[in-house]
């Protein structure tokens, strides 16, 4: 979950610096102070909440675009078992008492893949195999082992020598930054509207109090 509340702090600080020192004294005359009103507005503004979801989605797209450049480990394992009846010509080759051939093989393979932002793909790998061939049940021929080490490097020479490889990531990064800045823009507009409404409400309250006090004073003077 992305926490965008830190983006509001500079905006709020700049705003309150421009208000002057009388803001705190005025705020004490009403039940809801200006700072609380601003934070409530930011927390419940549907446009800000919607923009936060857009920013979260754009960050997910950025993570997906950046995932292709992470180090990846892959592996596989396979087991092979074959039993075949020998043909007449094969019996003549291996002996009349041999009627079938059995072949077993177990192989393991593991490799790493790393894709760089300039397009190069590096893939080192290791493969191990264990195999055994038997031409009768009493065949005690020792099994065999085979190992292979590979290292593959590929580099695209077209498409800007691989520069287009990171284009999706760069585009996703710009979209995410744009969505994050849009949150600050909406928040600043919301703060401005809240402040205007707050001061209008405060001014109306002051006017009402002044009129009420004036009316009370007029009635007092009239009675005297």
Domain locations in the chain as residue ranges? 5-67+166-223, 71-163
Looking at CATH, the fold of the domain delimited by 71-163 is given as: Outer membrane efflux proteins (OEP) (2.20.200)
The reported pLDDT for the residue numbered 23 is 44
From the CB of residue 165, how many other CB atoms can be counted at a distance below 10 Å?
20
pTM of the model: 0.54
Beta bridge partner(s), residue 147 = 128
In tens, the pLDDT along 95-135 reads 666 666 778 899 999 999 998 888 889 999 999 999 887 76
- Pairwise CA distance, residues 128 & 151, whole Å: 15
**What average pLDDT does range 150-174 have in this prediction?**
81
**Residue 2 pLDDT exceeds 50:** no
Contact (CB, 8 A) for 35 and 211:
no
Cα 127–Cα 132–Cα 136 angle in degrees, nearest 5: 165
Mean pLDDT of the chain: 78
Q: 90 falls in which pLDDT band (50, 70, 90)?
A: low
């Amino acid at each position: 979950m992305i926490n965008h509340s830190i983006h509001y702090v500079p905006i709020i600080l700049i705003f309150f610096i421009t208000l002057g020192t009388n803001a705190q004294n005025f705020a004490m005359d009403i039940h809801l102070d200006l700072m609380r009103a601003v934070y409530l507005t930011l927390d419940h503004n549907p446009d800000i909440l919607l923009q936060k979801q857009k920013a979260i989605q754009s960050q997910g797209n950025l993570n997906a675009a950046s995932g292709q450049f992470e180090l990846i480990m892959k592996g596989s394992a396979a087991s092979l078992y074959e039993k075949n009846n020998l043909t007449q010509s094969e019996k003549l080759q291996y002996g009349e008492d041999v009627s079938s051939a059995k072949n077993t093989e177990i192989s393991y393979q593991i490799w790493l893949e790393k894709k760089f932002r300039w397009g190069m793909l590096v893939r080192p790998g290791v493969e191990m195999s264990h195999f055994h061939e038997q031409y009768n049940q009493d065949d005690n021929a020792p099994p065999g082992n085979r190992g292979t080490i590979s290292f593959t490097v590929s580099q695209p020479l077209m498409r800007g020598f691989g520069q287009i490889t990171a284009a999706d990531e760069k585009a996703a990064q710009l979209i995410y930054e744009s969505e994050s800045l849009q949150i600050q823009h909406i928040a600043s507009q919301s703060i401005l509207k809240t402040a205007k409404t707050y001061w209008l409400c405060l001014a109306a309250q002051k006017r009402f109090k002044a009129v009420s006090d004036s009316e009370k004073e007029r009635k007092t003077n009239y009675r005297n």
